[in-house]
Structure 1
Amino acid sequence: MSNVLGLGVPRSEHVALRDPVIAYLDTAYADVYSALYETDIEAWSTARDACLHLPIAVSSVPRLLAYAVQLAFLLRVLDRNAGAKDAAHTPLGFGFPWGSGLTSGRLVAYPSLAMERAFIVQSIAAQYAQLGQSESRSDKESIRRATMHFQVRAALTQYAAGTLQTLQTLLTPAEQGADAPVELVPASLTALHALMLAQAQECFWQKATQDAYKDTTIARLARSTADLYETSANAAAASPLPQAYKVHARCKQLHFSAAAQYRKSCDDLVHKRYGDELGRLTLAASQVRAALALPLRALPSHAVADDLRGLQSIVETNLARAERDNQLIYLEAATSEAALPDLGTAAMAKAAVPEGLTSSQGLVDEHSLWFRGLMTYGIDVAERLYSDRKRHFCETVVESRLSALDAEANAVLVELDLPGMLDRIEAPPRIPREWATYTATLQRAPLAALPREIDKNAHIATHCADVLGELEAIVFRAVPGVADDLVTQQHALQTLWREYEHTLAEASASDATVHAQWEAVRADLAVMERGGAELARHVLPPSYEVERVRRAAAPRLRALRMDVERLEDGAAQRRALLQRVRSACDTDVLRPQLEKAARERHLGQLHAGADAEAVDPGALDDVLDAGMRKYTPYEAQCDALRDAQAALLRQIRAHVAAVHDDAALSAALRAQDAAYARVRDAYTTYTTLTQHVHEGHAFYTRLAALLETLRADVATWHARAVPTGGAFPGGAIRFGD
């Protein structure tokens, strides 16, 4: 069981915030659409309810601190005058019920955010106090944590002290007559502040004892601990704190006073100050007896009484030994209490304010503060207008103009065939790389195979024509006197014959085209079949002529190449300019200037005794105009790039015209293009012919099969229509020819 005290968490209950807060906003901020803040109200209600049911744990503290930070901001926005009760003050219209965490009195509703925050700070203090109490302090790390918790708890009482005046200001007469929470009474705050510092100092003393510090050092630490407990006990005596706190503080004061004297007596024994030793042990024994005479049943923990009895045993044992030794050996008079040298002090405990109460960094993001829009709504609108103007400038004034310049440059390059024309002129005489594929293909599939396939198709076509000629004489022969069904069948066979004849005629015309194309490219394909070297000898002579003529036109070509490169440099400059403009727009933050202007012009500030006045974004137009002036140089840069490109394009057109006017160069280029085109066209024709011949073979094979079927159908019909002898179904007797 712990021998230090914690602190009860203040009590409260759920508050329905939505309707009263909406009503408050409608009254205090008539120009604000209060429904926009329902999300903030819901977040407020959720956070408050969560804080009322947090367990005692380290993880609970950040949530309480975050709520305290939000309340500090709400004090500036909602409860603007910290509850000042005057004619112009807009009351909240609702209260926050709170009760003491040390007693079981009724809850009192306080209509002020200042009191809400004070009790949340008290809740944080209770968390730290109980965390410190729960530490075992059996090792150095546990002692360190307990020390920190008690020092933080001590600091938080200073925050609570500032709410006392607010408490009296906000309470109604009936509420002022009620008992105030015992934690917020001045004497209680003093007592609890000293108590927590004393418990932190006790941790320093405990660590020194475990680490076997010198007796004098331990004695001074114990003396400082006793002094703090004495301050707490004296203040508690005049406070409404429970009896347990009063008895605990007094017992602890006497315990550590006795412990300090005992530790100093050990040092006196070592240094042979036997009279001082005897006097200190006597004083320590009397202090322990005084502590044991207190109403120990009121103590919240038996550990305190057990510690006292343990110390009493040690002191009385050492006192009996000292008296016996002095009577037998030293024969020195015991030093009186008044004559004992002062122990000195070693105060180590210091109040440590939690970082979350001095700085909200890391607890609540600035953009997550509730009702932030009430302070910054007008500035937010102006900031959005500025962002829209920046975006319009970037997209319309800069990006669209630069894109138009890019499109113009690309259109001219396409129109003039640049830089492709220069590449063809300046390229060394060599066959294109893809022509290696041409020669390899023809070497894998010998060229002689293609005419053989053409001949095969022609042979099948001739056979099909013969079959059609044979069937024509039978199908189109008049056979009078036959039955109607046979006449119908004959007509169907005639129709099918005509379709096949038409198909064969179209195929024959296509074959003639194939044959003509083959004859046209046959010579060029034969050159390709002989390999790349032969192809080069066949095609490159015009390229040599281009190379010869190019040397004479080198200055004009070089100037044209430099113009094209400068045009590409201009495109790079435009991209860099656009990137600079975008970067400037992305990093340009006008909010500080807007806020400064608003402060200087007293726009949107919360004046004492007056309602909030919304910022008119129109009143900050000059700030927006001043911010946009920094982008004016970019327009001038766009104009300069436009003028430079226009001059360069005129120069490029002039240089291209000069190249085209060079008759020798133009003729050489046309000859080179014609030679290259002939090779490409020949190979393309070859691949087309190869595919056509393969498809033609499949076509003629299918057509021959269909004609054989037609021949069989004709034979069947002819056998029925023209019998070789005997009676004919029609009654007439006919004989076959």
Structure 2
Amino acid sequence: MATFISVPLKKSSEVDLVKPLSKFVTATYPAAEEQADYIRSVEELNKLRKSALGRPLDKHESSLEILLRYYDQLCAVEPKFPFSENQLCLTFTWKDAFDKGSLFGGSVKLALASLGYEKTCVLFNGAALASQIASEQNLDSDEGLKAAAKYYQLASGAFGHIKDTVLSALNREPTMDISPETVGTLSLIMLAQAQEVFFLKATSDKMKDAIIAKLANQTADFYGDAFKQCQYKENLPKEVLPVLAAKHCIMQANAELHQSLLAKQKKRFGEEIARLQHATELVKTVASRYDEYVSVKDLSDKISRALTAAKKDNDFIYHDRVPEVKDLEHIGKAALVKATAITPPLSAKFTDLFEKMVPMAVQQSMSVYSQRKAETVNRLVGTMREATNLCNGVLASLNLPAALEDLSGDSIPQSIVEKARAIVQQGGLQSIEQLIRDLPELLTRNREILEESLKMLGDEESTDSELRSKFSQRWNRTPSGDLYKPLRAEGGNFRSVLDKAVQADQVVRERYNTHCEMIALLCKPEAELTAAIPSANPVKTLQGSEVVSVLRSQLAQLEEVKKEREGLEAEIKGVAFDMSSSFLTALAQDGAINEEALSMSQLDQSYGNYSQRVQASLRSQEELLGKVQASHQEFSKLKQSNSEANDREEVLKKLASAHDSYVEITSNLREGTKFYNDLTEILLKFQNKCSDIVFARKTERDELLKDLQQSIAREPSAPSFNVPAYQTNPAPTAADPNPAPRTVFVTKPPNHCALQSFLAGCDTA
């Protein structure tokens, strides 16, 4: 008997991995060289899938190697790309391995946007191909026996792994071939066949009868377990059940045969006959019920000869009492097989195509770390800029340093001249007004991109809802409304950001309107500027006074503080630290990344000293401003006070304040322009994400609609009229023909009840 069960492979539809994965790479990795390497790897992955699934595979180890290498690559790539329905959406379609379909309806298949589903189906094919390779081995050679045992154990482990992981991997009801019940049964069958190979090896090597009996008895147990598991599995080929029942009996018969030889050696001749009689009953039942599936002639002849000889010797010589089968001592068991643990890599030649790409967990941690770093830098820089603006505002309110330069009372203070020159060099009013005109266009463009993206989601969601209402429970895919929640939340955040940006733009415009008259004055030629500033009586007596010298010294110190602050800002912006190595180490050691703890520790280490220096700069400014205000108060008392001088000082203050406002407004407008341009890039990526998922959902929708139409076509039509009573009495007909078998076996359906009762009888010994 050498009948072994092998499993057919699942068939998959073609999937283009290149386009979606390349888009993700292009969006995520801006470096040209890195990007090109990863896109080449994506193309290699696509070729590997076609080699593993896009053609018929030979029943050879090289074909299995390709399948396992693709499975290993899927395991390696899973943490590096955001495979999910609402991110990187790839739909994989697989047919049920055991469903042959119908003339009109086609075979049962399932399409899911799940890499876990693809992994499960690829591993199923690996197990199926391993079972086929094992069944092709020459069991008359040691090499063939070893290979068969190896591949059956691999198949058992793979099917068992699917049983444990399929529901969590798919998160929905799978097709029958990969359901936990089916693959659990297949795992038991493969384990039983591996044990049978060890039994054949022990028999071939003429090992001790006690050992062979235990191996055979354990094999019978494994086949019995497999039979119990699959007796209600209507989706499996119908010939599987009788083969398992037959093998359970045959292996028990072998166990009894070898145990009888052991009894003979121990001169227990009655036990020898009882065991041989039980073995005879077992093989007779197999021959009468399952001869279409397995041949037991050789075994039957062997048992028959042994029983005839044993009876003859006992009748004429020993006269030993023959016990009942139920009174015989139970035969021991010896399991030499174990399902192979599925721990990638399974392929001996596996090399990760994306070895240099960091896992998504690290990418996400890096993204959050970058945000934390940006917040830290912005906080420190913002604090210093606020302090500088405060300083400039205080000095402008005191008309410093212009008041010290204007002791003559008729010429333009040098600081005002320099401020006017700086504004003209930066483009004056024309530059600032152009920036203000550009903002609404940039805002409108961003709003249009955002609204178009959300409209795509809304349109597809409406279609999905209509079809769900039409097909009810048959429309068994994730509702678009649930799937799009993260994208809608992201879109809501973008809306909020744009609304805040509009408010900020309005503040800038109002400030510009407040100062535009004085800014325009600063843009005029020096002669016109001089004429616009009121004259005042000279205060030459103050030029050599101590208070003026002290004020000038204090102002110089303030300028030095501001210059140091500019250098400090450049240092803070230039701090760089690669956190990816820290995150990778944490992921390797702990299996997870505590991003917050690692990031905060590094940020404290990198910016703690800068934070102290910023605070020291603020304290120095506060102290110096206090001294400047005190000195200015003394200076004001000494300065001649009249209406012309007051008017002149007021204009000079406004001019100084207008310059500072021009610098700040220009900076704000340029930052706003950059913000809108950067946001456009982000929104285009968001639009691409929406477009990709909507396209994937439309593809999935069309596939599901096609499957539903085929399913409806397979359903029997209900009668459209009542049948007359006289036509309801059935005429005698021939027995219904048995359905054609779906594997290499040719059979008729077994009697399950008879099999169960027979097995119960087999297990009594």
User: Normalization by structure 2: what TM-score?
Assistant: 0.45
Question: Which structure ranks higher in relative contact order (CA pairs < 8 Å, sequence separation ≥ 6)?
Answer: 2
Work out which of the two has the higher radius of gyration on C-alpha atoms and give 1 or 2. 1
